[in-house]
Amino acid sequence: MDPLVFDGQVAIVTGAGGGLGRSHALELARRGALVVVNDLGGAVDGTGGSATAAEQVVAEIRAAGGEAVANADSVATPAGGAAIVQCALDSFGRVDVVVNNAGILRDAAFKNVTPEILDVVIDVHLKGAFNVLRTAWPLLREQNYGRIVNTSSGSGLFGNFGQSNYGAAKAGLMGLTRVLSIEGGRNNVRVNAIAPIAHTRMTAGQMDETMRPELISPLVAYLCHASCEISGQAYSVGGGRVSRLFLGMTTGITEPDLSAEMIADRIDEIEDPNDFVIRW
């Protein structure tokens, strides 16, 4: 098939100063996109900040013959999200693609999760996507075109010890993806999610280095391309493997006079996975 190119399209990639975001930005730029490389430049836990990380990725893109601008606004505030989109408009005049990738970690067993530990993770992961998209969404709808990729996680879909805040935020991103895929359908705005498995500074010590971020970006490029009509779906991706994630519902039971005792007696039927319906 013909190469998937993005000539003239403008892509925003958040958290693009390193790891997955950097890889996505480089891949989209290599394919002709004009890229806003957003990164606060902070530590893994979200503290601190510097424009250096984003600027270095922009330098890489330009050295390879691409075009990009750096942005160090925080996705964690409505003003920051709006400023990121405005950077795209000021630099390139439009927005076509949004890749919500920015993230931090504040892991703790649930008994140790404080409001601050919860809030800061929700602010970056879940509210961060809201903050960017609230400004980008009207633009995409008005031009009747847009592609959005949200970064969910296996922690949000399957669970992981010590990541109740992170998992809740990532599960929320899947809900956001589903709703926006419905609302954006009539305006040719396609919205999907990925659950990546890759070796980055956020997974250092937990992930084999062969799980390179560069093996995630081809899926992102496909989901961001005009030829991709898929919307509202989620994909697990890592180490060269791509698979669809879906939510299924068993046939279950139907009892007009349902009682707790009936459920107890027939719980095996209710849970039987051999006959199910895919809901998304």
Residues in a beta bridge with 148: 98, 191
Tokens at 221, concatenated: 């490029």
Q: Taking Cα atoms as reference points, which of 94, 70, 99 lies closest to residue 10? A: 94
| Burial of 44 (C-beta count, 10 Å sphere; 0-12/13-18/19+) | middle
Q: CA-to-CA distance for 84 and 248, rounded, in angstroms?
A: 37
Q: CA-to-CA distance for 14 and 18, rounded, in angstroms?
A: 10
Residue type, position 250, single letter:
T
Of 145, 166, 222, 235, the catalytic one is 166
Q: Which residue has the tokens 């046939």?
A: 251
Strands 241-245 and 10-13: unpaired
Return all residues near 116 (Cβ < 8 A) that are at least 6 apart: none
Neighbours of 180 (CB within 10 A): 23
Specify whether 145 is catalytic: no
Active site amino acids: 166
